[in-house]
Amino acid sequence: MTQLDVNLVEQLDDQARAILKANDRGGYTVPTDGLYPYQWNWDSAFAAFGFARFDLERAWLELETLFSGQWETGMVPHILFHEVDEGYFPGPDVWGCGRDLPSSGISQPPVAATFARKLFEQDPASGRDRIDDLFDRMIAWHRWFMEARAESGAIAITHPWESGRDNAFDWDKAMAAVDASQVKPYTRRDTTHVDASMRPTKFDYDRYIALVEFGRASDWNEAVIRDKSPFRMADPTMTFTLLRAHRDLLWLAEQTGRRGVEIEDWISGLEAGLGVLWNEAGGHFDALDLRTGRHSGSLSNASFLCWYGGVNEPRMQEHLDRALAGPSFGIASLSLQSPQFDPKRYWRGPVWGIMNTLIGMGLEEQGLTEQAGTLRRQTADLLAQHGFAEYYNPLDGTPAGGGTFTWTAAIWLSWASPSAGGR
């Protein structure tokens, strides 16, 4: 790792700010122009993290706009369809959620409370003015997770898209059991923007749509989906991000004079339930199929989110040291030693700046400062050499997916850039 030139850092900071501004749609930010034309849940929270480096007011607005689409159940959808874009599939007509602000019927990893805390810490005075309504909305979302998705002790997902790791190897066995025979012909948008070899296969996509159709037929009733959906998995990403978000929500409660007993109970509950995610055979955290009781056998970048969740698991140390030793630009989305590793295909091998960031934040906070520094430098080198792409080949850094990507620009500004100061 080499020290990045000061002038280069300034140029990259400028480029990152320009990307956030270019993807700004006035209150919300699209992930990248063209490929993703709407507001995505955890993308938006990362955008707020990035905006906070130069426009704190805009950062708060990003989170407030995200929660404007919250359902009466407390669920915050993974997509908000603010404007019509006929070319995007599946659009609001496919989801059929029937709300004033059209949305998808599933959620995404709850990182919003964590980044709301970051914004609050940056300026507590203005934060107290902005947090009241947002806090109530965040606690309702967290409560929804605990009531609707925590039956195993960990947090369940009902669709691979909900995990944020769309076509990860984790879901393969469970997805093979999903009947897609009744899915009607459709036209994907992603493969018109990005090389199909970098995206989920048609086999996967057919099953994604079958699960959307099941959810719609169930009127997005969580009890029906829990009992009857063919796909339900306890997910490390959802579990560790929610555990971390609970901790940050509790901190916000303490700062603003609120009672945190309910949140403390949620934290204790998730900590007690983490054992279901431990794959004893592989010696790592892993997704669990709640229909079959079997682990996926996947050592993924989600496995390393334990530290981000506040769980310092010594048995993960060997995996961490191996991953950081490379050859890689951080933590690949699937172990390089896995037979299913694919360096180019979405979540089946590529490295993601956002996951490096969350893992790095956790390592730093849990006292693994050397490893955190290594991961941060690897990420900074990756972005400095290969730009602000959606994801990258972990072996040589080749950019993949969408370009000029919001969340990659955001984590550069607020974490990876030497000018960020390791926030």
Just list the catalytic residues. Answer: 166, 390
Instruction: Provide the β-strand partners of residue 156.
Output: 234
What CA–CA distance (Å, rounded) separates 188 from 40?
18
Which tokens sit at 314? 């010594």
Residues whose CB is less than 8 angstroms from the CB of residue 314 and which lie 6 or more positions away in sequence, other chains included: none
Residue with tokens 């159940």: 73
Per-residue buried b or exposed e for 78-110, using 16+ beta carbons within 10 Å of the residue's own CB? bbbbbeebeebebbbebbbbeeeebbbbbbbbb
Which amino acid does the sequence have at 216? R
Instruction: Provide the β-strand partners of residue 99.
Output: none
CA 29, distance to chain mean position in Å, is 15
Rg (CA), the chain: 20
Which tokens sit at 124? 């507590």
Which class for 259: exposed (0-12), middle (13-18), buried (19 or more C-beta within 10 A)?
exposed
Helices assigned H by DSSP within 96-171: 112-122, 124-148
**Nearest 10 degrees: CA dihedral of 330, 16, 386, 66?**
60
Which amino acid does the sequence have at 337? Q
What CA–CA distance (Å, rounded) separates 329 from 380?
9
CA 117, distance to chain mean position in Å, is 17
What CA–CA distance (Å, rounded) separates 330 from 351?
7
